[in-house]
Amino acid sequence: MNFILGILASYCLGAIPTAYIAGKLCKGIDIRWHGSGNVGATNVFRVLGKWPGVIVLVLDILKGTLAVTVVADFFGLTTTIGRLLLGAVVVIGHNWTVFLNFKGGKGIATSLGVLIGLTLKITVLRPVLGGAVMVWLIFFLASGFVSISSIAASVSLPILMVVTNQDIELIILGIIFCLFVVLRHRPNIKRLLFGQEPRAPLPFLKKK
């Protein structure tokens, strides 16, 4: 019973559509009809501005962290596999939320939150988290594309786990997260191929 309740709690936590709620509260809009149409922090930055974007980003990260720490501890799912299952489920909830007809975000921030939470419990994962964040930053500063940076970081995740000799269940989670991210970024990949993907509006990046 605790297992089922933990899974449901993680899914519902991930399914909270923070970007959608921000759109309604800040401008009374459905963010799915603005910007890229994605229900995630990047689109909130573009449509609603910096501070709503920061708040949504932090909340989406927090969802992942809470799932593998607080929810896991509360329901007694404290084994590595238990935490990994809750981590996968919270990302599924974010990506396919029941509150928006199973259409949600792309899971980057929530996946990051899961990794942060796991490193609090599984300290050997810290080099993996640091490496993935570094890959994201390198690609982002070089290109200005959030999508490319997210895809690169997700692909690096299982590779970093293999290189640092993580347990097989952690490597499997890394592969799952990688697949989630790549599949959710298919529209971005198409826009990149046709030169239609927007860059992040940072002043130190030259527009092309």
CA quadruple 47, 50, 189, 206: dihedral sign: positive
Contact 90, 64 (CB under 8 A): yes
pLDDT per residue, tens digit, the chain (208 aa), is 899 999 999 999 999 999 999 999 999 999 999 988 999 998 999 899 999 999 999 999 999 999 999 999 999 999 999 999 999 999 999 999 999 999 999 999 999 999 999 999 999 999 999 999 999 999 999 988 999 999 999 999 999 999 999 999 999 999 999 999 999 999 999 989 988 888 875 544 444 4
- How confident is the model at residue 169, as a pLDDT? 93
- How confident is the model at residue 203, as a pLDDT? 44
CA distances from 45 to 11, 72, 119 (A): 25, 31, 28
Query: How far apart are the C-alpha atoms of 171 and 53, rounded to whole Å?
Result: 31
- How confident is the model at residue 204, as a pLDDT? 42
Please calculate the CA angle 46-52-58 and round it to the nearest 5 degrees: 110
- How confident is the model at residue 156, as a pLDDT? 97
- How confident is the model at residue 201, as a pLDDT? 57
Query: How far apart are the C-alpha atoms of 27 and 12, rounded to whole Å?
Result: 25
CA distances from 204 to 30, 139, 141, 144 (A): 31, 15, 9, 10
Closest CA to 56 of 113, 119, 116: 113
